Amino acid sequence: MRVNVTINGESRQADDVWEGESLLYVLRERLGLPGSKNACEQGECGSCTVYLDDVPVCSCLVAAGQVEGREVRTVEGLAEGDKLDRVQQSFVDAGAVQCGFCTPGLVVAAHDLLNRVENPADEEIREALAGNLCRCTGYEKILDAVRLAATRGETA
Amino acid sequence: MDFLRPSSLTEALAVKAERPDAVPIAGGTDVMVELNFDHRRPGALLDLNRVTELAEWTETDGKIRLGASVPYVRVIAELGEVLPALAMASRTVGSPQIRNRGTVGGNLGAASPAGDTHPVLLVLGAEVEAASVRGTRLIPAEEFYLGVKRNALEPDELITAVHLPAEVGPQQFAKVGTRNAMVIAVCSFALALHLDTREIRAAVGSAAPTPRRATAAEEYLGTELPWSTKASLTDSVKRRFGELVAEAASPIDDVRGSADYRKHALSVLARRTLTWAWNDFQKGERECA
Ligand SMILES: Cc1cc2nc3c(=O)[nH]c(=O)nc-3n(C[C@H](O)[C@H](O)[C@H](O)COP(=O)(O)OP(=O)(O)OC[C@H]3O[C@@H](n4cnc5c(N)ncnc54)[C@H](O)[C@@H]3O)c2cc1C
Ligand code: FES
Ligand code: FES
């Protein structure tokens, strides 16, 4: 089937999509957007997190056909050209990235949190990131990155 | 495989009647896992995301009609006051990403013994609204769960809503899991004190092939609760209640816990939630009936 969807503000089309295919597969394999990572395909790791109509979801658990006519925003859509979003920049500055596999999903989840809560408490940060696993960092630097981003004003 | 995309409930029911093999997909948090791992290859997917009728809830005369596709995040944000135990259970589901998509209708459709909303629906005396082109019926939650991942739906039926009484009185949900977030329950427990009828309802989850009520425990408590004096509960009452709740379960040994551990944990959850619910009653915060 064909799927029409707006991705990062641009209308896109994917063809020959299998009806049981996930949004994650369409993003990575059909539309050349490898930012969202595939690690578990069962909603456990959060590395595939994207916005669907402004709501963070695991793209591996959304059927491609469900996004017809809707809006998706991936980690690629957070930066403006070469200028990183404040959450992305804070992950770099705080050293919250090691292998980087979990980073795109964490960035989207943290981005959403800071959209909703200007100055989140540590418990709120932990709660918001509870669906994102990181194998490398031990999470402390990730918490630092989110705290740092919170001090840096508005999110785009 | 076909991807069917009805845009109204009438259309969805017509499609389901024509294609009983079509698997409904709401949040997709159960269905997609099965598809991704090739555990299921249905003839068709029936996408419910466009059926806006299923994504609404209404309150009439103290009754909530909760649309099947209202995601957990909205149950938590919008229904915490009137359906506190359902909101508590919703808060324990998965992660924010899962709660943004997952629905009570999907929990019922999957009918996993470990589904977190099931014990709550049992203690509230909820009714599942099922519809087909043949008409609509209400199935009491107790008659809905037939076995592991089996429910009372006919092949041409969709779950349209759940009917629940609002603000029955103090109620609690508690779950034991191996970590704080993202785990299915090792066991779970819900309790409701129905103030208008002075009835106590208790139910266990993840501790038998289906979620089930703990009727002997309910009856025991019914005779022991000092409703009129509001006196504090004795340890022996709480302990006996816990024992009877544990006896209602017939759990299995598996990777997440042994049967003995599950029974023990249930008796602890029962004692604890009873203490919390009775404290609420003593404070009279929810004494609205
Ligand atoms: C990482 C992860 C963590 C999870 N944690 C928990 C947890 O802690 N507690 C818990 O209870 N569950 C948990 N789940 C399971 C799942 O999120 C829930 O069961 C959820 O309620 C399913 O809702 P859904 O809308 O996503 O269902 P879907 O996946 O869309 O559907 C589930 C089933 O219900 C059927 N169905 C859906 N809607 C209807 C309808 N209207 N009429 C008839 N049939 C219908 C589908 O055909 C399917 O069989 C978890 C899942 C994942 C992936
Ligand atoms: S790949 Fe989607 S949650 Fe892990
Ligand atoms: S940095 Fe490697 S998984 Fe998080």
The answer on A69 and A16 residing in a single domain is yes
CB contact under 8 A, B44 and A19: yes
Nearest to B29 by CA among B78, B95, B91: B95
Indicate the residue among A77, A111, A140 that finishes a domain: A77
**Domain, as residue range, for B35:** 1-46
B105 within a domain of the structure (yes/no): no
B277 within a domain of the structure (yes/no): yes
**pLDDT for residue B49 is more than 70:** yes
Mean pLDDT is lowest, of B142-151, B155-164, B248-257, for B248-257
- The C-alpha atoms of residue B188 and residue B274 are separated, in whole angstroms, by 14
Indicate the residue among A58, A77, A96 that finishes a domain: A77
B10 within a domain of the structure (yes/no): yes
Q: What is the pTM of this model?
A: 0.96
Indicate the residue among A77, A97, A125 that finishes a domain: A77
As a whole number, mean pLDDT of residues A117-125 equals 96
The answer on A119 and A143 residing in a single domain is yes
Q: What's the one-letter identity of residue A109?
A: A
Nearest to B141 by CA among B170, B118, B168, B173: B118
Both tokens of A86, joined, read: 């404040």
CATH classification at residue B225? 3.30.390.50
Number of structural domains found in chain B: 2
B141 within a domain of the structure (yes/no): no
| Contact of B277 with B188, CB cutoff 8 Å | no
**Domain, as residue range, for A122:** 86-154
Which pLDDT score, from 0 to 100, does residue B258 have? 87
Chain B residues whose beta carbon lies within 8 Å of the beta carbon of residue A46: 95, 97
- The C-alpha atoms of residue B105 and residue B203 are separated, in whole angstroms, by 19
Determine which of B3, B40, B45, B54 to mutate to test the interface with A (most A C-beta atoms within 10 Å).
Answer: B3
CATH classification at residue A141? 1.10.150.120
CATH classification at residue A68? 3.10.20.30
Phi and psi dihedrals of A64, rounded to 5?
-50, -45
The answer on A121 and A102 residing in a single domain is yes
A132 touches chain B (CB under 8 A): yes
CB contact under 8 A, A43 and B97: yes
Residue having the nearest C-alpha atom to atom 3 of ligand 2: A43
| C-alpha distance from B179 to closest chain A C-alpha (Å) | 11
Q: Give pLDDT tens digits for B106-123.
A: 999 999 999 999 999 999
Q: What is the ipTM of this complex?
A: 0.96
pLDDT tier at A155, thresholds 50, 70, 90: low
- The C-alpha atoms of residue B163 and residue B260 are separated, in whole angstroms, by 35
- The C-alpha atoms of residue A136 and residue B126 are separated, in whole angstroms, by 45
As a whole number, mean pLDDT of residues A114-139 equals 96
Pocket of ligand 1 (CB under 6 A): A 42-44; B 23-31, 33, 48, 68, 92-94, 98, 101-103, 105-107, 109-110, 115-116, 158-159, 182, 184
- The C-alpha atoms of residue B223 and residue A74 are separated, in whole angstroms, by 58
**pLDDT for residue B79 is more than 90:** yes
Number of structural domains found in chain A: 2
What does each C-alpha distance from B226 to B195, B198, B240 come to in angstroms?
A: 13, 11, 15
Both tokens of B140, joined, read: 């009491």
B86 within a domain of the structure (yes/no): no
